[in-house]
Every structure is written in C-alpha cells, then in structure tokens.
Amino acid sequence: MVQFDTPHYLIDERRLLRNLRIIGRVRREAGVRAVLALKCFSTWGVFDLMRRHMDGTTSSSVHEARLGREKFGGEVHAYCVGWRADEFREALRYADKVIFNSLSQMEAYGRLAAGRPVGVRVNPGFSRSHYDLADPARRYSRLGVTDRDALRAAAGRFDGVMFHFNCENDDIEAFEADLARLAREFGDLLRGLRWVSLGGGLYFTRHGYPVDRFIRALAGFRRAFGLEVYLEPGEAAITECGELVTTVVDVVRNELDVAIVDASVEAHMLDHLVYRTSPRLAAPRPGAHEVMIAGRSCLAGDVFGRYRVARPLRVGDVVRFADAAGYTMVKKNWFNGLAMPAIRIRRLDGRVETVRAFGYEDYVGSLGRAPLRGPLPARGKSAIVERRGTAHRRPPRGDRRKGDA
C-alpha cells in the first residue's frame, strides 16, 4: 500500500457514489431536482462523478456561481446575501436562476436579470437548526424576507422562492410537519409560482433514513402546488465520504495523554471549533485508553477532542478524522502558516490521486504577490526590499527599533 505524506484530505469516490445514488433515486421517484450547495463542498476534482447524479449547483457568491458554471455544468442558481452591482452583473454571465435575499435587492437589480427566472429567499419564521449560529430564523435574522404582506404584494415580479430552514435534520416526522406548515402558511403564494427550493440541511442519505417516506412527502408537496421542487444537498451529498488524515508528532502528559497531530482544528476543520463539536475518529480503533487529540497551532483551544482508543498513541501513528469533506476544504486557512493538507481522491477503481498539494509559495501568495525566486539573504545581514521601484532597507534581525513588536 502506498503511503502518502500527511496531513491530507482524502475523498473516497466509492462512498460518495453511495450518497449520489440515493440522491438520484429521490430525483427520479419524487420528480424533484437536486443542485449541489457549493458553500459546503466545492472540491471540483469529483464533479465528473457528481454531475451524473445531480442537476447543477447553487452558490452564495459570484465566485461560486462561476465555479458551478465552469466546473460542474447543468443548472447554476446564483444567490448571495448581499449582491454588489458589479458582482451581480458578472453573476448573470453564469446563472440560469438568480435568487435575491431581500425585496430591496430585487428592486435594485431585478431589471438586470430580464429573461432569467428570478427567485426570492423567504424566511418562514421557523427552522430545524441545532445551533443559534446557524439558525436562519434566529432573532434579527437578515436571511430572507420576513414581511409576508410585502412578499405577496411583490409576487408577480418573481418566479420562485427559496426556503432554507433545515440544518443536519434527519427527522422525517419534523420534515413532514414543516412541509405541511409551509403549505398552510404560504400555499396561496406557492400556487402562483413556477418553482420552489426547499434548501439544504436534510440528511436523507444517512444510514437508516426512511427514503421511501421522504420521496412520498416530496412528491405529494410537488403535486399539491404544481411546482418544480428543488433540493440543495450539501452534507447529504458528501457525508461519510471524506477523511482528514494526520500523523502524531508528539505526545505530552498533562493529567492525561495529549497527542499532537500535524494538522489543526482552527485551520483544517474550523466548523468543529466554531460549533464546539468533535469529529469522529475513523482510526485508530476505539478502546479503553483515554487521550486528547490536539492540533499543532499556537491556539490553546486547538483541540479535536477527547477519545478512547485501543492503545496509547505514539509519535508516527496515523489518526484519521471522519466526515472531513463538508465545510472543511471550503474553510481551510493558513493560520500559523501551518502546512495546508493536500487534497487526494480515491477513485472508483481504487487509485489514489493527488489533485492539489500546497507549499510555501501558496502561503505567501495568499497574502501578497508571489515571492521572487532567488538566493535568500545571509542571516544577520541587511536585506534590500524592492517596492514599486524604490529600495527600502530592512534592519537585520535583532535591531528592534521603536514600534517593532
């Protein structure tokens, strides 16, 4: 077996295909369409496989809209919480549908979208989010139109609406109840439209989920209103298909063993830090030995979690964090200048392909112009830095002038 350097993200196409086949079945049997939520997952090295089972993409920015058009194809839904005029004009080059977050944005830019289907995001006033941070119906939420009278008054100016009211919702009874509530509270509006998006956050690809019942609920809703119904799977498309593969670089003792790996929660699995959750371990095996696994950034709270494993971890052991596809690669960052995980894909035939590796020049280039190649200045000597044709003398190390930190 070929050993790859760590850290790296590993996407397994065979696991991905399992999710995609469920999505494909829901599309066929419920008569709905599915567009990939790029905010969750944009690793386009697997788009060739995904486009066979999905209808296109939905975006949250002009860059995502362009990525969807150029790398995925199919339908491109262009949404943004707040469009700038220049961005919106560019997004029109890629979009099949445009969705406004507010009626004021539709008023400002709707005329530019002439000839394209136009939608509005609606805040239904309820959600199934487990976290206030991710709750689109939280108090003072800016996400979607809340004024129902204004929405109905403007109804003739848009073709569809988007409801985003789920987050990691794997409760079919809750979903059925919410569909009934949408029908009850927005039925008059829906009957005058051509399409509706039910957003993402529905975990219908999880093991044991009642897919048959999900299909019946969707099909019944679609028939009741004569609408084209869209789903926006993000996590549902890629759940359990990715890992963050790391190596233990040190083990310290402070009441319990703390194994430090060559990755970082802050930089490489940020959502777990934000939501104060811990990723599951794909390896090592579970057992009786308690260990804390932590990242190697300087942030004191850069901790993946506390786990019980089969034996004490040692330097050189491989640690694999599960479910590392969604909201990871789209959020990775260069905190502390730590090595950025490569992106690797295990193809359907078992080959492992490195689709992207990162180095120093990527780090430096993310903060300014890429460095000029050439010999490094000698240690302790002054260096001349060229800035727009003017030479500036940089003091040697140790020359701590007033104001230096």
Domains and CATH numbers, the chain: 1-13+241-405 (2.40.37.10), 31-238 (3.20.20.10)
Instruction: Give Dmax over CA atoms of the chain in angstroms.
Output: 77
167-177 pLDDT, tens digit per residue, is 889 999 999 99
Residues 6+ apart with CB under 8 A from 40: 200, 234, 235, 237, 238, 326, 327, 330
How many whole angstroms from its chain centre is CA 222? 28
pLDDT range class, residue 2, cuts 50, 70, 90: low
pLDDT range class, residue 357, cuts 50, 70, 90: very high
Q: What is the mean pLDDT of the chain?
A: 92
Q: Quick check: 392 pLDDT over 90?
A: no
402 against 227, higher pLDDT: 227
Q: What pTM was computed for the model?
A: 0.90
Q: What percent of the chain clears pLDDT 70, i.e. is strictly above it?
A: 90
Predicted confidence at residue 114, as pLDDT, reads 85
Kindly tell me the burial class for residue 100, based on how many C-beta atoms sit within 10 Å of its own C-beta (0-12, 13-18, 19 or more): buried
246-304 pLDDT, tens digit per residue, is 999 999 999 999 999 999 999 999 999 999 999 999 999 999 999 999 999 999 999 99
pLDDT range class, residue 130, cuts 50, 70, 90: confident
pLDDT range class, residue 75, cuts 50, 70, 90: very high
Predicted confidence at residue 401, as pLDDT, reads 34
User: 346 forms bridges with which residues in the sheet?
Assistant: 12, 352
Confirm if 260 and 324 have CB atoms less than 8 A apart: no
Mean pLDDT of all residues in 100-117? 95
193-252 pLDDT, tens digit per residue, is 999 999 999 999 999 999 999 999 999 999 999 999 999 999 999 999 999 999 999 999
Predicted confidence at residue 373, as pLDDT, reads 63
- Establish how many alpha carbons lie within 13 A of residue 365's alpha carbon, considering only the half-sphere containing its beta carbon: 8
**CA end-to-end span of the chain, whole Å?**
48
